[in-house]
Amino acid sequence: MPYADPGRPPLTSASAYLWWVARGQAGLVGSCVAWSSLAFVSAAALPYLLGVAVDAGLERGPVRALWSAVLLLLAVGLLGALANVMEHRRLVEGWIRAAFRSSQLLGHHVTRTGDAVTAELPTGEVVATVASDSLRVGEVFWILPRLVGALVSYAVVAVLLLRASVALGLAVLVGLPTVAAMLALIVRPLSRREADQRAAGGRLTTLGADTVAGLRILRGIGGEDVFAGRYRDQSQRVRRAGVRVAQTESVLDALKALLPGLFLAAVVWYGARLAIAGTITPGELVTFFGYAAFLTQPLDVATEALRIVTRAVVGVRRMLRVLSVPPTGADTREQPLDLGERPPATEASSLVDEATGVALPAGRLTAVVSPDPDESAALALRLGLLGSGHDRRVRLGGIPLAELGLAEVRRRIVVAESMPHLFTGSLREELDVRGGSDDAAKLAALHVADAHDVLESVPGGLDGHVAEKGRSLSGGQRQRLALARALLTEAEVLVLVEPTSAVDAHTEARIARRLAAARAGRTTVVVTASPLVLDHVDHVVLLAGGRVLAEGTHRGLLAADDEGGRRYRGVVSRAAAEDDLIDPYDPREEDPRATAHR
Amino acid sequence: MRLPIADAATLRAHTLALVRRHRRPLAGVLVLHALAALAGLAGPWLLGRLVDAVGRGTTVGFVDRATAWLVAAVLVQTVAIRYAQRASRVLGETVFADLREEFVTTVTRLPLSVVERAGTGDLLGRTTNDIDRAQHSVRFGVPRILVTSATVVLTAVAAVAVDWRVAVALLVGVPTLTATARWYLHRAAAGYLRESAAYATLNGTISESVEGARTTDALGLGHRRRSRIDDDQREAFAAESRTLFLRTVLFPGVDVSFVLPVAASLLWGAWLVSQGLSTAGAVTTVAVYALQIRHPIGELIYWLDEIQIGATSLARILGVGSVEPDRTAGAERPAGDQVVASDLRYAYREGHDVLHGIDLALQPGERLAVVGPSGAGKSTLGRMLAGIHPPTGGRVAIDGVRLVDLPLAELRGHVALVTQEHHVFVGTLADNLRLADTEADDAALRRALAAVDALAWVEALPGGLSTEVGSGGVTLTPGQAQQVALARLVLLDPHTLVLDEATSLLDPRAARHLEQSLSRVLSGRTVVAIAHRLYTAHDADRVAVVDDGRIREIGPHEELVAAGGDYADLWRSWQQE
């Protein structure tokens, strides 16, 4: 464990999936059934041996016949103990294999789908599926072998009883399935009520987590009572749902005592009459009693199996929905994308987008500026074939990206968005996504991104731990860390979208200077409108309305006296634009609060 | 800073208090379970009587009477189980509902400074994982422990009552049973905790893969994510193997402990019968009891270690209650609205001041930009000015009244802090807005939304103001989420606002769309803007350059540029003029 390759399951139906998992561990399932049968049969044999011991004549003291009966009982008891533990070990193994295989299939699949998976299903639902539904698959492999074992022991007891007394044997053969069917009638509404309570409980957990996640805001502006009240209401809903479960479940529990209990009474009554008539011995009466008491066990297993399988089928259907989301194609099962080696040191290539006419010269640092930031960001995604649509009009070193193939594009072009996801792990591991860079290179990348302070805020330096989503870091630190990570890919072409939007001006100026030096001689694109960055790039492209409006150096464009220069200054010199925005509401001119309550 | 964990004494005291609070239903549950267990013991006892009777020779009438007793016992057992199970589950649900509601109420009352410093990770873990784990113990564990211990005790008592001489043989199983159980319970809790930690890590890794799917694709991280999942599964498997080993010792130990007494009671019983000291029926009864007691004891052992795990979670849940409040409200209320900081100091760790005696008087209605390198103490200063943390030296006051002496509701009406974090709460959009003013009617909500340019998209939502948003509902863009936050500020209407890089976590595109809304909210208020965009500084009335916990320069933009200090350098490089 885990599987080297979890395989490729059929996605047609829940039963097809479960059958596929079962076939994959057929030997194990067989061994589970065998040990389980042995465990159940040896448990059923104990009442028989107890009867034999009683018949050996307790009145005569510990005689030979009693000794041999008791020793046999001991032997069967020890065999049962062995069978129990082996059964348990095999069942746990079967459970783990099925559950882990399912969780691995899901976990691996979501690494290949890109954000298609969250576009199709809410993130919370996908996570819940991975966390709980895969375990439900395991439970099936826990209970079904036991069900088979229970049925075997039931058949054995029925045959033994049939040989001793046709009436009792028939009573067991007809009575027990009837009782099971009656219990099944309650199991269904019970499962429904349990599902209701789980759903209400899930909502309660969401509310609790939501309150905590937004607690800073809550404590800053109020509304605590509203939230505590809301949680209380939902908590009471969960409690009421629990009470409804308790009502049905207690009826099931009571029936599990009543029906076998009445059966037991019937067996005792009939058996005692046979014993008085001398048809059976007192020991056989004890045996009958033991059998009747034992038969509650197969009954319990059967009702449990019904509950588990019902739940698992629902879970598998949810799993199949996730597994049916198609992969993006950059990283497939047939050709896994492993960027675990350095890219070959090739000549720097130019990147050209024929659709807009944006040409990014080889080996230089180019900035793309646009009055509509969405436009330049969209261009950045196209340059790396990220998102939907395979654009034939982007060429790397003259070759259309579509011809290079998605895997090759990912290898050579890295697009880093403004606020990318940081993963949990040590700084050393999380920075070096391609592997192979030494600590010096990592520290150098952190230096370029001016992210040395991160080393101090995670105890342990490079060994320090980055918490989930970088929660322990500030927004600026997260962005700088992500920039260092992008730099360490040493990509042939690096496309950075607004890499310094969350950092202060001092820092931004330092990063811009160091970035230019660090990427010298390699093709680099920065989408930005910040003059602090623009001042350090080799070349600036102004993109507007789907075409290149002007290009040149930052200073050249600032000084240009044409339409392009005017538009460029409009985008870059934000101070002017800000004044336009703020003037109508300038506090120095009017104070609406003067007319308000204070 | 980690949140506290309750010690054993607190845990005990709290559990006792719970028992006392629910002692009536608890007593009822115990009586019912005892009755059910007692009725369940009738079968083997009557069997023994029948064995003796048949041995002596008896009548059909005796058999009928005995069977009638048995049927009666089954009926009593049925009814008792029905009500005992219901009552104990209901009790478990009630106790746990109380516990979790109390916990969440405590959480929503945690001191501002604790919430700001502890972060959300620890608290989130307690609200979700620990509540779930403790829940399992309280809701199912406590009722099952009551049932099983009642059954075990009563079975033992019944065996002694039937014939104490025979029952002595049952003690044969005690040494192996106690040795095995002790060995197991000593190790089980750690093993199961490791197991659940391993599953939590695995689930975390997979949810990260889901949430970071886009980054995974862009950077080609799929291979690494998959090997991380496999590593986590390896650890989960190792943890499972460990607990499986523990059970591999436990199960045979328990099984053997129950076969031995059966055998012993038969042999010893036969000797007693041959001496005329007992009857075959009594021996049969005791032997059957010995077989019957196995399941309740096995279950009891299972729950004892579950309870240990539940107790560690409970300690973490109750620990939150022991956080001391960081302020007590005084009686004074300010009349004016000028915020003044004098000789302000703050240390997160004793002896390591982050702020070194800052003096700052905000002019009502002014806009002050705070700039400076990362780690200079800008955010700490902002939090002090908003009254989030009590300062460790000096004071921040409005009109002479210290911020930390104001009740929270009053404080919020004076100064509010807007940070880069945005969060959309689960609920309707109106719920999200009413946090700031629970009394506000829909018209007021609309006015607030209009003030931040958000009314158009809100009206376009399927349900308008009553659209369900947040996790599971309509997903708002970060820009929209921040607009909602700003609309809340309009409702709250404080005279002073501290903006700590309020737009910096947004996608820069969204940030630009938001600036217009922001400027409307700011109008007419005193604003402290902790900024990383220099145009904000340019627009401000005054600029404060903070470095190393001190205000290095302060004054209007033009003056600072003319003075030729740090700020002037930066401004020139930005302007390129």
Write the pLDDT tens digit of every residue in A62-82: 888 899 999 999 999 999 999
Query: For the residues B301-329, what does the mean pLDDT come to?
Result: 85
Q: Does B214 score more than 90 pLDDT?
A: no
**Over residues B92-121, mean pLDDT:** 82
Asked if pLDDT for residue B235 goes beyond 60, the answer is yes
Q: Quote the minimal CA–CA distance from A246 to chain B in Å.
A: 5
Question: Roughly what angle, to the nearest 10 degrees, separates helices A224-276 and B60-108?
Answer: 170
Neighboring chain A residues of B493 at a CB cutoff of 8 Å: 593, 596-597
pLDDT < 70: residue spans in chain A: 124, 339-346, 388-392, 471, 573-598
Assess whether the previous peptide bond of A145 is cis (omega < 30° from 0): no
Strands (E), B295-429: 339-349, 352-361, 367-371, 393-398, 401-402, 415-418, 427-428
Report which of residues A171 and B250 the model is more confident about. B250
pLDDT the model gives residue A577: 41
Residues facing B553 on adjacent strands: B545
The sign of the dihedral angle between the CA atoms of A280, A286, A291, A296 is positive
Quote the pLDDT of residue A150: 95
Angle at B516 between CA B513 and CA B520, to 5 degrees: 150
Q: What is the pLDDT of residue A388?
A: 61
CB B26 within 8 A of CB B335: no
What is the C-alpha separation between B341 and B528, in angstroms, rounded? 13
Q: Do A250 and B81 touch (CB under 8 A)?
A: yes
Q: Where along chain A do its domains lie? A: 14-323, 365-583
Residues 6 or more apart whose CB falls under 8 angstroms from that of B470 comprise A210, B424, B425, B426, B427, B432
Q: Which residues contact B315 (CB under 8 A, 6 or more apart)?
A: B5, B6, B7, B10, B11
SS3 (DSSP) at A44: helix
How is domain B339-575 classified at the architecture level of CATH?
Answer: 3-Layer(aba) Sandwich (3.40)
Which backbone phi and psi does B564 adopt, to 5 degrees? 75, 30
Which has the closest alpha carbon to A495: A572, A421, A587, A386? Answer: A386
Enumerate residues 75 to 134 of chain A having a beta carbon within 8 A of any beta carbon in chain B: 77-78, 80-82, 84-85, 88-89, 92, 96, 100, 103-104, 106-108, 110-118, 122-124, 126-127, 130-131
Question: Closest residue of B to A577, CA-based?
Answer: B535
CATH, range B1-163+315-324 = 1.20.1560.10
The CB density around residue A448, as the number of other CB atoms within 10 Å, is 22
Q: Domain spanning A365-583 has what CATH number?
A: 3.40.50.300
Predicted local confidence at residue A596, as pLDDT: 34
A209 touches chain B (CB under 8 A): yes
Contact B286, B167 (CB under 8 A): yes
Q: Find the residue in B nearest to A593 (Cα).
A: B524
pLDDT at A79: 95
Phi, psi of A392 (to 5 degrees): -80, -10
Residue B252 to residue A82, Cβ atoms within 8 A:
yes
Residues in chain A: 598
Show residues of chain B in contact with A554, CB under 8 Å.
Answer: 576
How many angstroms separate the CA atoms of B132 and A58, rounded?
53
| Predicted pLDDT at A586 | 34
Residue type at B73 in one-letter notation = A
Domain ranges of chain B: 1-163+315-324, 339-575
ipTM of model over 0.90: no
* More reliable by pLDDT, A376 or B537: A376
Closest CA to A352 of A317, A400, A409: A400
For chain A positions 457-516, those within 8 Å of chain B (CB to CB) are: 467-469, 471-472, 474-477, 485-486, 489, 498, 501-509
Whether B31 shows a pLDDT value over 80: the answer reads yes
Phi, psi of B402 (to 5 degrees): -65, 140
pLDDT range class, residue B54, cuts 50, 70, 90: confident
Cα separation, B388 vs B411, whole angstroms: 10
**Does A275 lie at the interface with B, CB-CB under 8 angstroms?**
yes
Q: Is residue B510 within 8 angstroms of chain A, CB to CB?
A: no
Q: Kindly state the average pLDDT of the residues B199-210.
A: 84
CB proximity list for B178: less than 8 A, separation 6 or greater = none
The domain A14-323 having CATH identifier 3.90.1580.10: the answer here is: no
Cα–Cα distance for residue pair B184/B250, rounded to 1 Å: 6
Q: Which of A104, A502, A558 sits opposite B229 (nearest CB)?
A: A104
Phi-psi region of B494 (alpha: psi -120 to 50; beta: other; left: phi over 0): beta
- Optimal mutation site among B139, B210, B258, B259, interface A, most CBs of chain A within 10 A: B210
Count the residues in chain B. Answer: 577
Tell me the shortest Cα–Cα distance from B95 to chain A, in angstroms: 10
Q: Would an 8 Å CB–CB cutoff place B417 in contact with chain A?
A: yes
B 366-405: CB under 8 A from A: 367, 371-375, 379, 386, 388
* Distance separating alpha carbons of residues B406 and A352, to the nearest angstrom: 62
Helices (H), ranges, A277-295: 282-294
Q: Which two tokens stand for residue A15?
A: 């039963």
**Chain A residues lying within 8 Å of B70, measured CB to CB:** 264-265, 268-269
Note the pLDDT of residue A63.
Answer: 84
Measured between alpha carbons, how far is A470 from A422 in angstroms, rounded to an integer?
Answer: 6
d(CA B155, CA B167): 11
By CB atoms closer than 10 A (0-12, 13-18, 19+), residue A417 is buried
Q: Which residue of A has its CA nearest to B509?
A: A373
Chain A residues with CB inside 8 Å of B209's CB? 107, 110-111
The alpha carbon of residue A16 is apart from the nearest alpha carbon of chain B, in Å, by 25
Residue in B184, B194, B140, B179 with CA at minimum distance from that of residue B303:
B140
